[in-house]
Amino acid sequence: MANFEISNVTKDIPVFTTTLELAAVNSKIAVVKTASKDNALKNLIKDHRKQYPEGYRSNVQAWRSDWFTHKKDPRFQPFVDICTEACNFLSRKHFNADAELICSNMWVVEYVEGDWTKEHDHFPDVMSCVYFVDVEDNCAPIIFENSLEIKPENNMLIFFPSLLKHKVPPTDAKRTVISMNFRLRTCMPNVKYNNSYAGFY
């Protein structure tokens, strides 16, 4: 499992960052037809957006997919599995928790110049993550409570407690991310997929 750097918002609230190997990610993702193999997720997102150009409205002022993109488009599931494994690793190693966490939601956001996200949290989920698929040098950071600011880098993966408030200020450049939430398996009954999520706005 990858090594994680830890930044503390407060003494008891950590934020974890690591970098995924692009080749390892590519090997898990089915390459979209006619797409190059340099970034399989980037190509998959492009293809997904062609299928669902309307996006989904939320607190994110940018194009984004719906809350259950990995259910709507199972091609994302192998990447969800990578992040779920990492999330459970952190849960065991840093929180001494032996309960299993599973992905409750997964969505894509594509920011262009001027796009932003207002401050929010992901409660009632337990852990959340954001993966930077394709970001330009001068794109907006993610800003957590107490002014903890993290500058995005390509292939960076960040995990944080879902109760932690965060925002994205208006960006000056493109910024494509995949976000996920995780809950205890015991809190996730076998619910049929639908295109809504009452816990968000």
- Predicted pLDDT of residue 27: 86
pTM: 0.89
Share of the chain above pLDDT 90, in %: 71
Q: How high is the pLDDT of residue 24?
A: 83
Query: Is-contact 138 98, C-beta < 8 A?
Result: no
The domains of the chain are located at 5-27+37-187
To the nearest whole percent, how much of the chain has pLDDT over 70? 88
User: What CATH number is given for 5-27+37-187 in this structure?
Assistant: 2.60.120.620
Nearest residue to 51 (alpha-carbon basis) of 77, 76, 24, 22: 76
Mean of the per-residue pLDDT values of the chain:
88
Residue 83 has pLDDT above 50, yes or no: yes
Give the gyration radius of the chain's Cα atoms. Answer: 16
As a whole number of angstroms, the distance between CA 70 and CA 108 comes to 10
Closest CA to 129 of 165, 87, 101: 87
Rounded mean pLDDT, 61-84: 95
- Judge whether residue 47 has pLDDT over 80: yes
Summarised one tens digit per residue, pLDDT across range 157-193 is 999 999 999 999 999 999 999 999 999 987 655 544 4
> Which residues sit opposite 132 in a β-bridge?
177
pLDDT tens column, 86-118: 999 999 998 888 889 999 999 999 999 999 999
- CA geometry: angle 72, 73, 75, nearest 5 deg: 155
Q: What is the 3-state secondary structure (H, E, C) of 120-142?
A: ECCCCCCEEEEEEEEECCCCCCE
H or E element: which one contains 83?
Answer: helix 77-95
- H or E stretch including 52? none
pLDDT on residue 177: 98
Give the largest Cα separation in the chain, rounded.
49
